[in-house]
Structure 1
Amino acid sequence: MPANPDLVIRGGRIVTRDGVVDGDLAISEGRFVSIGRPVATAKAEIAAKGKWVMPGGVDPHAHIEQMSGMGQWNADTFETATKSAAMGGTTSVISFAAQEKGQTLVDTVADYAARAARGAMIDYAFHLTLTDPTVTGFEADLARLIGAGHRSLKVFTTYNIRLDDIDLLRVLRLARQNGALVCVHAENDAIISEARAALVAAGRTAPKYHAKSRPRMAEIEAVERICRFAEYIGQPTMLFHISTQEATEAVRAARDRGAPIWAETCPHYLFMTEEVLDRAGLEGAKWMCSPPQRTEQDQTALWQALLSGTLDLVSSDHAPYRFDETGKLAAGLNAGFHQIANGLPGLETRLPLMFDAMVTGGRGGPEAFAELTAHAPARLYGLRGKGGIALGMDADVVVWDPEKTVTYGPNDLHDNVGYNPWEGFRVTGWPEHVILRGQSLVKDGAFVGKPGAGQWIERPTLATRPVAPVS
């Protein structure tokens, strides 16, 4: 350790992958250089006695400066989204480089890389969203981009950007050949289309009917199918935003068979039910997302799956749309649920909500909190140097005040959405200092980051779960 490190976080409870260490945390040249040992002097200090010192949050599922499958731009730029993320304790994000129909993958990545380089204030990587496998050079470009470090792919089984089963299998084989992880939005499009059409025909188009338009069976069938596809090909696959008890059971069964499956869920499934959509007029549209929120029984099952290891991590699925004519209300004040953009903001609220439940509320504890929100996403997505507090790793760290209580207001986030879907929720535990590679992003609760300071994260390797050969 240098004699006079750049920064010492003094006297905190440091959560590492190997357990909790009480003491000083020293940082020099953007990396951790001492953990727990007393540090006599440093160029700068942060007092952390009585505070939790956690790894910077890793959010591996966020839609930023992206057009939706409905052809609508979301509200956030990389600048607004990553400022919001930092204010909530997140220092690394994986967003999407979403291919448009007819666009080459090389052009797709170039577009998003330029946007991120201009505005990102935290470190970032991309999932390549594959929507048009017929484009010229698709397979060669995909292999080249995976080799360059874009080691996760996103596909849909619903919306007008879905892939059919033949193309899904093709992508799984290409990913296996080139060493990438495949991430899937798994809902059965035919079930959704049939349910939606029946509701619209009956005039049941208020936002509260959104949940009925995406029946739980749509998720159950698609999750079970993708598990079988992954098992058949022997390809590591991540299932996004699991919302139902039955889907968690399908994941557990697949793993018991040796299938290479991982899965995540999100705070809006852990803390909200479908009743949140049942509001006057179009107000419920603020909470519309896909899959929709479910029931209290599903919440219980999701928590059990998280704490038992069946579900691997918690992401935000940040999908920001303003509640006005540029976003949720683009189709007008008489729009039905089928004309309203799906998604809600979550980059800033994910960690405080989970800290309140897991650390303050004791539902798993501080080590489980760090595992689900930082360690696991960094490990599974191969984010070099990220997601933990260990010697030599990037000094991405958050000092949490475990006693500060905040009640969310109607518009107190730092994104560009204009409303907070967690208005009225009270959380205890708050990120007061947020540090990225040794540099302050949030200092005593005030944002001090700069646009473009975020860096692309190298992903030279991808951890895989050992599986039995598939005959």
Structure 2
Amino acid sequence: MKKIVTGGTIVTATETYQADVLIEDGKISKIGKELMDTEAEIIDATGQYVFPGGIDPHTHLDMPFNNTVTDDDWKTGTIAAAFGGTTTILDFCLTAGEVKLIDAVEKWHEKAKNKAVIDYGFHLMIGDLNENTLAELPQVLQQEGISSIKVFLAYAKEFQATDRTLYQAFKVGKEMGAVVMVHCENGSVIDELVEEAKALGHTEPIYHALTRPPQLEGEATKRAIELAHLADAELYVVHVTCKEAVDEIISARKKGYKVYGETCPPYLVLDQTALAKPNFEGAKYVWSPPLRPKEHQQVLWNALKAKQLQTIGSDQCSFNFNGKKRLGIDDFSKIPNGGPFIEDRFSILYSEGVAKGKITINEFVDMISTNAAKIFGLFPQKGTIAVGSDADIVLFDPNKERVISADTHHMNVDYSAFEGLTVKGEPVSVLSRGEFVVKDKEFVGEFGRGQYIKRKVKKGEFKEAVTN
């Protein structure tokens, strides 16, 4: 059925204006004043912003980790994302023991099948590149429409790659036109610091942060930058948390290196003191890299405003406090790493950024949607409101205030990392390819309607639109 969104204010990364939007066959077919079509359903957006659907470039749904599995799967995770204004996610397909890379990709397709309520794509994680996987990787990227490779420099026992593997990944990325995403922490030194802390009897959650200092994020960021430059490849630094890493990214970009940076909502509003909460409550805030001292928050906001960091990922990786986080009650290193963020990414960036004057509303759209679409090969199908683009639309009430709470969120976890935080602005209705997933704050979507999106790979083209 055709739809006309009328009465709202359209906001893209470059424009803010009042107009109607005609939706046909899942696409935006016309934008203009006082559009008329007797066959169309009229959607009244008076007093609301009409945003392009959010693109979350960093999620972990139904992911095995730390001897357990995340509590949000592709049903609960994508429902929560939709309530939060996100219409496309890019999830990390992990390779762990598979003989062939394609086996890991097929495993992730099965996880999402008949569950996802919004569109999605995969990043392909690489832990080791032997002769066989190195030969297979380009074929898998092309066949599956995957334009991004993930490499960990942390988690020495689970995922950490060698510098040689990282450099090999950069060479494949250069050849295929794929961006290489890197978790930048020095996992080997972290393991040494963890053992030192435990030997001294330190078991509390705060030592998760104290054994992963900012210097080790800065060092790994520098190392990844230089190896990427050596291969003339594109580097995307995930979940940047601290001045040490930001400084390395800014320095590299000033030299013309092909580097992007992402940060996440918790690093913008929470700080390291949360891990020191009594009665093991600090375990709720254990994720990696860890929360930093409060002074790092302004560094991140400044870098976003200056476009030295380009995107906001949720790094959704949820574990229940009761039952799973408590696995580490006697040993901080056994606390499952990760937190529940997918539902609040959109609102926190708007409330803390736009409503408080730190960023403009157009910069908000850039960070929450457009830049990720450009970097990962989704633009202009996704990431903007334009004729021919998918009708992924968020109707957003900028005046609505709500208090974030586990009692009202849609994630399948028993706590909220942002419990009690008041945010201004709320998604009211969310459309994915022209169909309501959330309508007047009620879920009306269909399980399995979310489509896997094959992304475009452009060889040799650094996305200059994202760099200025």
TM bucket, shorter chain: over 0.9
Residue 185 (structure 2) aligns with: 187
- The runs of 5 or more residues in structure 1 that have no matched partner are none
8 Å Cα contact 2:16/2:362 also seen in 1: yes
> Map of 1:420-435 to 2, 5 A cutoff?
420-435=416-431
1:56 to 39, 53, 56: 53
The yes-or-no answer on 1:249 pairing with 2:244 is no
Q: Following TM superposition, by how much is the alpha carbon of 1:201 offset from its aligned partner in structure 2, in angstroms?
A: 1.2
Question: What displacement does 1:102 show?
Answer: 4.0
CA contact (8 A) 2:14 2:362 kept: no
Q: Which moved more, 1:263-272 or 1:184-193?
A: 184-193
Aligned letter for 2:132? G
1:6-50 per-position Cα deviation (integer Å, ceiling 9, x unaligned): 111111110124301112122111111222321134521221122
- In structure 1, what is the Cα distance between the partners aligned to 2:67 and 2:92? 15
User: Unpaired segments of 5 or more residues in structure 2?
Assistant: none
C-alpha distance in 2 between matches for 1:402 and 1:33: 26
**Structure 1 SS opposite 2:93:** strand
> Any idea what SS the aligned residue of 1:395 has?
coil
1:402 aligns with 398
Task: Kindly provide the CA deviation profile for residues 214-252 of structure 1, in whole angstroms up to 9, marking residues without a partner as x.
Answer: 011110100011111111110101000000112111001
2:384 — aligned with what?
Answer: 388
Offset of 1:381 from its aligned partner? 0.4
Instruction: Report runs of 4+ in structure 1 exceeding 3 Å deviation.
Output: none
- How far residue 323 of structure 1 moved from its aligned partner, in angstroms, is 1.1
The CA deviation string for residues 400-453 of structure 1, in whole angstroms up to 9 with x for no partner, is 011111011233221211211111000110000100000000000001111100
Q: Give the letter for the 2:411 counterpart.
A: D
Shift of residue 458, structure 1, vs aligned partner: 2.0
**1:39-64 deviation digits (Å, cap 9, x = unpaired):** 13452122112211100000000001
Which of 256, 270, 273 is matched with 2:271 structurally?
Answer: 273
> Contact 1:11/1:49 (CA < 8 Å) preserved in 2?
yes
Q: In the alignment, is the contact (CA less than 8 A) between 2:317 and 2:338 conserved in 1? A: yes
SS of the residue 1:419 aligns to = coil
Which amino acid in the other structure matches residue 203 of structure 2?
Answer: T
Is 1:84–1:413's contact at 8 Å kept on the other side of the alignment?
yes
Give a deviation string over 1:325-377, Cα, whole Å, max 9, x none.
Answer: 2x21235xx43211101110111000011111233222212101100000000
For 2:462 and 2:385, the matched residues in 1 are separated by 23
**1:451-466 mapped onto 2 (5 Å cutoff):** 451-462=447-458, 464-465=461-462
Q: 1:80 aligns with which of 50, 65, 76?
A: 76
**Structure 2 match to 1:343:** 338
Q: Which amino acid letter does the alignment assign opposite residue 121 of structure 1?
A: V
**Counterpart in 1 of 2:96?**
100
Distance 1:102 1:444 in 2: 44
| Partner Cα distance (1:50, 1:187) in 2 | 44
Partner residue, 2:154: 158
Q: Are the counterparts in 2 of residues 412 and 420 from structure 1 also a CA contact under 8 Å?
A: no
SS in 1 for 2:454: coil
My pick for the range that moved more, 309-318 or 334-343, is: 334-343
Matched position secondary structure for 1:78: coil
User: Which residue of 23, 26, 34 corresponds with 2:22?
Assistant: 26
For residues 141-186 of structure 1, give each alpha carbon's deviation from its aligned partner in whole angstroms, at most 9, with x where no partner exists.
2111111211111010111211111111111112212221110001
Please state whether the residue corresponding to 1:401 is helix, strand or coil: strand
Residue of structure 1 in register with 2:351 after alignment: 356
Q: State the match for 2:140 in structure 1.
A: 145
CA distance, structure 2, for counterparts of residue 244 and residue 294 of structure 1:
7
SS in 2 for 1:457: coil
Give the deviation of 1:204 after TM superposition. 1.5
For the pair 1:113 / 2:109, whether they are aligned, the reply is yes
Q: CA shift at 1:313, angstroms?
A: 0.7
Decide which of 300, 303, 306 is 2:304's aligned counterpart: 306
User: What letter corresponds to residue 110 of structure 1 in structure 2?
Assistant: E
Output the CA distance in 1 between the equivalents of 2:88 and 2:347: 16
Secondary structure at the residue paired with 1:92? strand
SS at 1:125's partner residue? strand
For 1:217, which of 215, 218, 224 is the aligned residue?
215
Counterpart secondary structure, 1:137: helix
Q: SS of the residue aligned with 2:69?
A: coil
